Amino acid sequence: MPELPEVETTVKTLRRKVLNRTFLDIWTDSKNIKKPKSFEEFKNEIKGQKINDIKRRAKNILFYLSGNKILLIHQKLTGHLLLGKWNIVNGKWRSSKKGSLEESVNLFIHLMFWLDNGEMLALSDLRKFAKVELWDRNELEESDGFKKLGPEPLGKEFTISIFKKVLPRRGKIKQVLMDQGVIAGIGNIYSDEILWEAKIHPLKDISKLSGGELRNIYLATKKILKKAIKLKGDSMRDYRLINGEKGGYQKVQKVYQQQGNFCPRKDGGKIQCLKIGGRTAHFCPVCQKL
């Protein structure tokens, strides 16, 4: 699933490419648009809307539209937005230009927006889990889902004291880092990378962490997320940049999906994995002792 670095990369690029553009038309073969209640209602409300701003909140992409509307896209497991031009060929959307947009992972297009400059914004989503909703701005900002989101880990207000304050009294640190109500935007990839950087075992309970260990996790969180954004996200699986190309963080991953490899710290440990609440955690048993 695209996490904070991938979503932030997408938002930054979209701001350069489609800000002040207007939606002319929309197509979908998906039934996942549940707000408004029907696609026809969604289509009628979004046509003619100008994109005034684009922001990220947690893992959500937010298009601030004229008419006090917000188009929310959560890419979920396999979704990613693409910008280009497509034609229907044998019943399938195909890029009109040769290149990265022709890669197989970019061919599962289930939502298409036409923009007023002739370009098209597409959502490729193999599993069809992506969430697309159109909200009144005030309604979204006051919704329970948004109010329950934790602080942004790269925000200026996210200090070490705030970090300690939002942590629950108990809980496995790997699960806590992925809890969107505690800290917004961190998922499976970066929780693994952060804990390796901080030398903390993913099963260690919050209540057992020292002040120094908490500070190491806090610093590692900012370091890893900033590095991943600089490298334009992780494309080990489905995520791609809006031009269809891969990000670069997968080239420098230390533990995520590296089970069986020697620890990059050269401490003799081999990366292992275990299950925590249905999710897989990757760690080095030597430098991340429980």
Percent of the chain with pLDDT over 90: 96
Q: What is the 3-state secondary structure (H, E, C) of 125-141?
A: ECCCCCEEEEEEHHHHH
Predicted confidence (pLDDT) at residue 32 exceeds the cutoff of 80: no
Q: How confident is the model at residue 30 (pLDDT cuts 50, 70, 90)?
A: confident
Question: What amino acid positions are annotated as catalytic residues?
Answer: 2-3, 59, 279
Predicted confidence (pLDDT) at residue 6 exceeds the cutoff of 90: yes
CA–CA separation, 150 vs 179, rounded Å? Answer: 8
Q: How confident is the model at residue 1 (pLDDT cuts 50, 70, 90)?
A: confident
What's the pLDDT score for residue 119? Answer: 98
| Count of residues in the chain | 290
DSSP notation for 103-127: SGGG--EEEEEEETTS-EEEEEETT
What's the pLDDT score for residue 31? Answer: 77
Question: In this predicted structure, which of 29-38, 120-129, 134-143, 157-166 has the lowest mean pLDDT?
Answer: 29-38
Average pLDDT over residues 13-27: 98
The sign of the CA dihedral 182, 10, 17, 119 is negative
CA-based R_g, the chain, Å: 20
**Which of 177, 165, 185 lies closest to 205 in space, CA to CA?**
177
What's the pLDDT score for residue 162? Answer: 98
- When the pLDDT of each residue in the chain is averaged and rounded to a whole number, the result is 96
Contacts for 123 with CB less than 8 Å, ≥ 6 apart: 73, 75, 79, 80, 81, 82, 109, 110, 111, 112, 130, 132
Predicted confidence (pLDDT) at residue 219 exceeds the cutoff of 80: yes
Q: How confident is the model at residue 275 (pLDDT cuts 50, 70, 90)?
A: very high
Average pLDDT over residues 48-73: 97
Predicted confidence (pLDDT) at residue 34 exceeds the cutoff of 80: no
**Which of 114, 81, 108 lies closest to 242 in space, CA to CA?**
81
Cα–chain center distance at 10: 9
Q: Is 69 in contact with 161 (CB distance < 8 Å)? A: no
CB neighbourhood size of 30 (10 A): 14
Phi, psi of 8 (to 5 degrees): -60, -40
Percent of the chain with pLDDT over 70: 100
Contacts for 178 with CB less than 8 Å, ≥ 6 apart: 186, 187, 188, 191, 279
Q: How far is CA 94 from CA 110, 113, 127, in A?
A: 12, 15, 19
CA–CA separation, 113 vs 122, rounded Å? Answer: 6
Average pLDDT over residues 204-214: 97
Q: In DSSP terms, which residues pair with 89 in a beta bridge? A: 92
Helix (H) or strand (E) holding 283: strand 279-283
Tokens at residue 75, please?
């890419």
pLDDT digits (tens, 9 = 90+) for 225-256: 999 999 999 999 999 999 999 999 999 999 99
Instruction: Show the domains of the chain with their CATH numbers.
Output: 4-147 (3.20.190.10), 160-283 (1.10.8.50)
CA–CA separation, 86 vs 119, rounded Å? Answer: 9
pLDDT digits (tens, 9 = 90+) for 146-180: 999 999 999 999 999 999 999 999 999 999 999 99
